[in-house]
Amino acid sequence: VQLVESGGGLVQGGGSLRLSCVASGFAFDRYAIGWFRQAPGKGREGVSCISRDDGSTYYADSVKGRFTISRDNAKRTAYLQMNSLKPEDTAVYYCATDGPIWGPREVMLSPRNFARWGQGTQVTVSS
């Protein structure tokens, strides 16, 4: 199982970035994919999650209306479109899988419920 994130970088506040998570080594279309982030000195938190058939999406309140999660099962890739970025969005962003297939938001956005992780990509938003 391998997950590789890309698309991070430095952006000014109000700007946009699109993160990608390319998967290999498992049946991508059978698993939900989650995006999580960890800011310096803070714990890892759930940002967004998408079900295996992208019929259900979940968002943390802090990003709702600004971030959009999607997936392309044919390309084995999940995306996180981030708009209207704020300095408080600065963090290392991770994608993860091998977690719950469906459930309430607090379950789908809980890092401890996901077993497979990528290496992360840094997002820095300047003020």
pLDDT at residue 53, as a whole number = 80
pLDDT at residue 80, as a whole number = 98
Q: What is d(CA 54, CA 56) in angstroms, rounded to the nearest whole number?
A: 5
Q: What proportions of the chain, in percent to the nearest 5, are helix, strand and coil?
A: 10, 45, 45
pLDDT at residue 55, as a whole number = 78
pLDDT at residue 54, as a whole number = 67
- Residues of the chain where predicted confidence (pLDDT) is lower than 50: none
Q: What is d(CA 99, CA 96) in angstroms, rounded to the nearest whole number?
A: 8
